[in-house]
């Protein structure tokens, strides 16, 4: 093995290995499946007869506790470690529901013949580049393995019994006198039984698949890989030169024709109809001619395939059960699984992802017959970073879904669902998770007073904004870092235009003359503050009102009159200087008591206050998470929708991560600006949807009918997760016997119990 990942497996034979990830094949609708299948056929056709290759599928049990550690939230001594312990326990319980701690990986190993490693290297690198590009065209992420990674891979196969950690460095080889095999070898090998072997304390058996079925099914490989035991599935594939393949088939057709003539002569001599010939002969002749036609006129090639399955277990009895289960799956698809009697050692070596086939049992298959063993089943989404957040269990594999939104190009998100589908609960669970594992600030716009218990449990601050409250926010507050521009007023002016449109604008919004007057007055009222930025110089809404009154245009008087109720009238809640300290890490703006008239205005002003906080945190290189419930209310008026979209776009560059929560998808999608919201959101957590909303979303997000079924009459906490290009169905059954659940639930009966 060489450090760059090239391995000399035999004299004049060199190989490299690529690891590739899964994509959703089983979840797709038929036309998408067909597209993936055809692309996979093209992928296989790339390999000519000089490049034999091997597909390896490894289901290996994880090292005891390694995955448990990856979901453990370390204590921080801040008074919330009891919640961290409870959340960690919940994650570990959810993890245990998955595939029993099996780590599933997929590899492609290819080789070339060459006189030396120097001659092999450029050829292997060229093939590797081509294969990686071909994977990319399939939408599959893949990467080449270096020498140490390939050794670790074989070490993991040889140490399934003790889970010994792989320790290796190239620097150790000269000093120790050891070779690379010494670092991967198990404690012992035992091949004394004809139909099984032992690797250390682990029992193993290698079987080959006899492909007897005239037609194969694309579920077969997926079903074998769904077995809940450690196994290695290997396919050695060797392309046959096209000219040779056609010559061979023509020769076979000639032989069949000759046999047919002999049978006809016999028939004539025996005195019966010469058209009566053995049915096998007629069938073979028809199939051979069809095969020749496929090779000559369709994009088909001939491959020789060796299909091996390595089953492992801790006991002989368990091994027999595992082999029996694999055999049952093969029989279901009209194939047979046969143990390699007295060839277990060769079978074991052929099952390693080295690109060396020592088993000469081959079956000739065309491109499409080989491609039917589609190596893609269900995509998994399990990120192990410190800030990865729990999103539920993969509905197809039952494995944990853990994602870090910050790794996306655009971390903005949406949580969509009908009332009772669990959307508020999902938002609260994420807020809890963010609080426990990150240092990010969390701000919530709460129009229905749902988040108070959660915020108080996290030691946060709930700010009640209502006509009777003593908590005030000044909508005119301006942070000098408010905009990227030298003049922070440009974006602030947009906000005040949006605010005035909500207050003044009729059906058609603000007129151009009115916008000009407001913009002029905004610049005038901030003049003193920008010259001397002290808190007492910060203008309030009343200053804008006074400035409008001083203008000559009748439109200015009209705007001022419309503003009057919010300045000196009964709705003057927003005509005060900010008197609250919103520097707490978790802040919730409770605007339920604002009433229908003021709620939209309140949401817009809260959004501006959040933007001020984002700009402050940016200087400290700290992220700000903003959760905005009932978001559709902000998208009903054109100007407020435009301002919301503008903020949505700007958040990412400034370290803000907004999440919109809404039940009313029709209202959300009725805004012309909404496409920008969707285009700038790489995270969508979609729960059960109403019939009308489903069709709109399917068109907007290009969801297949099968995928749509996961948000049709789905239960609480069930739906689809969109993470970048990945679409996964999820289920989140959060345990109800936890203090976390009692704080997060929106069900009155359960909240009362608390």
Tell me: the pLDDT tens digits for 300-345? 888 889 999 999 999 999 999 999 999 999 999 999 999 999 999 9
Asked if residue 507 has pLDDT above 70, the reply is no
Task: Flag whether pLDDT at 64 surpasses 60.
Answer: no
- For residue 506, what pLDDT is reported? 66
Picking from 572, 564, 624, the residue whose alpha carbon sits closest to that of residue 598 is 572
Distance in angstroms (rounded) separating the CA atoms of residues 557 and 521: 12
Mean pLDDT is highest, among 191-195, 343-347, 481-485, 599-603, for 343-347
- Does residue 68 carry a pLDDT above 70? no
Which residues lie closer than 8 Å to 74 by C-beta, 6 or more apart?
84
CATH code assigned to 7-62+101-240+301-371: 3.40.462
Asked which of 26-35, 373-382, 524-533 is least confident by mean pLDDT, the reply is: 26-35
* Pair type for strands 656-662 and 624-629: parallel
In the predicted structure, residue 166 carries a pLDDT above the cut 50: yes
Residue 667: per-residue pLDDT: 65
Q: Is the pLDDT of residue 754 over 70?
A: no
CATH number for 413-473+579-754: choose from 3.40.50.300, 2.60.120.260, 1.10.600.10, 3.40.50.150: 3.40.50.300
Span 247-275, pLDDT tens digits: 777 778 787 778 888 877 887 787 777 77
Q: How confident is the model at residue 128 (pLDDT cuts 50, 70, 90)?
A: very high
**Confidence grade of residue 486 (pLDDT, cut at 50, 70, 90):** low
Written out in words, the top-level CATH class of the domain with range 474-577 is mainly alpha
14 against 622, higher pLDDT:
14
Give the model confidence (pLDDT) of 411-452 as tens digits.
999 999 888 888 889 999 999 999 999 999 999 998 888 899
Q: Alpha helix (H) ranges present in 10-168?
A: 30-45, 66-70, 81-96, 117-138, 147-158
**How far is residue 166 from each of residues 1, 56, 96, measured CA to CA in Å?**
16, 20, 25
Give the lowest-confidence range in 52-56, 175-179, 357-361, 746-750.
Answer: 746-750
- Tell me which of 127-131, 223-227, 253-257, 469-473 is least confident: 253-257
d(CA 441, CA 439): 7
Q: Indicate if the pLDDT at residue 66 is higher than 70.
A: no
Higher per-residue confidence, 489 vs 668: 489
Q: Is the pLDDT of residue 660 over 80?
A: yes
Q: Supply the pLDDT for residue 427.
A: 93
The values of phi and psi at residue 366, to 5°, are -80, 175
pLDDT of residue 118: 94
8 Å CB contact between 365 and 305: yes
Contacting residues for 16 by C-beta, under 8 A, at least 6 apart:
5, 6, 7, 109, 110, 111, 124, 127, 128, 144, 145
For residue 4, the SS3 value is coil
pLDDT of residue 44: 92
* Confidence category of residue 207, pLDDT binned at 50, 70, 90: very high
Instruction: Report the residue count for the chain.
Output: 754
Check pLDDT > 90 for residue 67. Answer: no
Q: pLDDT (tens digit, 9 = 90+) per residue, 582-591?
A: 778 999 999 8
In Å, what is the CA distance from 626 to each residue of 427, 589, 609, 648, 657? 11, 11, 11, 11, 6
- Residues 347 and 339: their CA atoms lie apart, in Å, by 10
Which pLDDT band, with edges at 50, 70 and 90, does 744 fall under? Answer: confident
Instruction: Report residue 143's pLDDT band, with 50, 70 and 90 as the boundaries.
Output: very high
Q: What is the pLDDT of residue 625?
A: 93
pLDDT at 689 over 60: yes
Residues 6+ apart with CB under 8 A from 138: 23, 36, 39, 40, 43
Query: How many other β-carbons are positioned within 10 Å of the β-carbon of residue 419?
Result: 12
The pLDDT-based confidence of 27 (bands split at 50, 70, 90) is low
Whole-number pLDDT of residue 636:
74
d(CA 423, CA 436) in angstroms, rounded, equals 20
Q: Does 211 score more than 80 pLDDT?
A: yes
d(CA 79, CA 75): 9
Q: Determine contact, residues 398/378, Cβ cutoff 8 Å.
A: no
Q: Which of 106-120, 567-581, 656-670 has the highest mean pLDDT?
A: 106-120
With cut-offs at 50, 70 and 90, classify the pLDDT of residue 672: low
User: Is the sign of the CA dihedral 175, 180, 181, 186 positive or negative?
Assistant: positive
Q: Which of 11-15, 62-66, 547-551, 681-685 has the lowest mean pLDDT?
A: 62-66
344-373 pLDDT tens trace: 999 999 999 999 999 989 888 888 888 889
**pLDDT, mean over the chain:** 85
The neighbour count for residue 265, using CB atoms within 10 Å, is 11
Put simply, whether the predicted model's pTM sits higher than 0.85 gets the answer: no
Residue 509 clears pLDDT 80, i.e. is over it: no
What mean pLDDT do residues 546-550 have?
A: 91
Q: Structure tokens of 170? A: 């190239």
**For 34-38, 93-97, 143-147, 748-752, which range has the lowest pLDDT when averaged over its residues?**
748-752
Report the pLDDT value the prediction gives residue 403, as an integer from 0 to 100: 92
């Amino acid at each position: 093995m060489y450090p760059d990942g090239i391995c000399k497996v035999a004299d004049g034979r060199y190989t490299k290995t690529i690891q590739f990830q899964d994509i959703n094949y089983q979840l797709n609708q038929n036309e998408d499946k067909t597209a993936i299948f055809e692309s996979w056929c093209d992928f296989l056709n790339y390999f000519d007869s000089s490049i034999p290759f091997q597909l390896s599928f490894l289901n290996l049990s994880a090292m005891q506790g390694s995955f448990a550690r990856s979901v453990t939230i370390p204590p921080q001594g801040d008074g919330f470690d009891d919640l961290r312990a409870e959340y960690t326990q919940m994650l570990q319980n959810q993890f245990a529901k998955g595939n029993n701690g099996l780590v599933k990986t997929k590899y492609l190993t290819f080789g070339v013949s060459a006189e030396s490693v120097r001659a092999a290297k450029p050829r292997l690198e060229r093939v590797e580049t081509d294969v990686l590009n071909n994977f990319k065209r399939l939408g599959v992420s893949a990467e080449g393995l270096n020498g140490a990674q390939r050794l670790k891979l074989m070490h993991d196969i040889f140490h399934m019994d003790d889970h010994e950690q792989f320790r290796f460095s190239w620097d150790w080889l000269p000093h120790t006198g050891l070779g690379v095999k010494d670092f991967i070898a198990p404690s012992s090998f035992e091949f004394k039984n004809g139909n099984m072997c032992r690797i250390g304390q682990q029992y193993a058996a290698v079987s080959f698949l006899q492909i007897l079925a005239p037609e194969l099914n694309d579920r077969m490989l997926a079903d074998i890989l769904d077995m809940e035991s450690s196994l290695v599935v290997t396919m050695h594939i060797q392309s046959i030169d096209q000219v040779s393949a056609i010559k061979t088939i023509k020769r076979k057709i000639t032989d069949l024709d000759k046999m047919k003539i002999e049978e006809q002569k016999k028939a004539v001599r025996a005195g019966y109809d010469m058209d009566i010939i053995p049915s096998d002969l007629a069938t073979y002749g028809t199939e051979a001619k069809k095969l020749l036609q496929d090779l000559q006129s369709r994009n088909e090639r001939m491959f020789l395939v060796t299909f091996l399955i390595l089953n492992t277990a801790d006991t002989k009895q368990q091994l027999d059960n595992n082999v029996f289960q694999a055999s049952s799956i093969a029989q279901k698809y009209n194939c047979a699984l046969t143990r390699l009697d007295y060839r277990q050692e060769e079978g074991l070596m052929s099952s390693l992802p080295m690109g060396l086939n020592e088993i000469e049992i081959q079956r000739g298959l065309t491109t499409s017959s080989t491609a039917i063993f589609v190596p893609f089943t269900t995509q998994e989404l399990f990120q192990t970073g410190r800030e990865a957040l729990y999103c539920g269990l993969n509905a197809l594999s039952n494995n944990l879904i853990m994602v870090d939104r910050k790794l996306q190009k655009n971390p903005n998100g949406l949580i969509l669902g009908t009332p009772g589908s669990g959307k508020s609960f999902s938002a609260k669970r994420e807020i809890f998770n963010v609080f426990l594992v990150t240092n990010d600030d969390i701000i919530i716009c709460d129009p229905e007073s749902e988040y108070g218990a959660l915020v108080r449990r996290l030691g946060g601050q709930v700010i009640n904004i209502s006509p009777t409250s003593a908590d005030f926010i000044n909508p005119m507050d301006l942070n000098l870092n408010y905009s990227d521009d030298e003049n922070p007023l440009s974006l602030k002016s947009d906000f005040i235009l949006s605010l005035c449109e909500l207050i003044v604008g009729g059906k058609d919004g603000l007129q151009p003359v009115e916008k000009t007057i407001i913009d002029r007055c905004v610049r005038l009222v901030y003049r003193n503050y920008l010259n001397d930025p002290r808190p007492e110089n910060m203008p309030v809404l009343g200053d804008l009102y006074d400035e409008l009154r001083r203008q000559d245009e009748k439109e200015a008087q009209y705007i001022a009159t419309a503003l009057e109720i919010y300045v000196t009238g009964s709705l003057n809640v927003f005509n005060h200087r900010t008197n609250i300290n919103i520097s707490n890490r978790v802040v919730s703006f409770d605007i339920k008591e604002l009433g229908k008239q003021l709620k939209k205005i309140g949401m817009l002003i809260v959004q501006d206050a959040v933007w001020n906080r984002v700009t402050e945190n940016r200087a400290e290189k700290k992220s700000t998470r903003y959760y905005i419930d009932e978001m559709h209310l902000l998208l009903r008026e054109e100007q407020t929708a435009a301002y919301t979209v503008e903020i949505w776009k700007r958040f990412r560059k400034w370290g803000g991560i907004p999440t919109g929560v809404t039940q009313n998808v029709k209202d959300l999608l009725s805004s012309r600006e909404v496409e920008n919201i969707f285009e700038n959101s790489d995270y969508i957590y979609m729960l059960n949807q109403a019939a009308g909303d489903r069709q709109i979303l399917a068109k907007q997000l290009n969801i297949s009918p099968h995928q749509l079924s996961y948000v049709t009459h789905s239960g609480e906490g069930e739906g689809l997760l969109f993470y970048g290009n990945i679409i996964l169905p999820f289920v989140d059954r959060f345990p109800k016997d936890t203090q976390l659940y009692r704080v997060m639930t929106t069900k009155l009966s359960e909240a009362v119990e608390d």
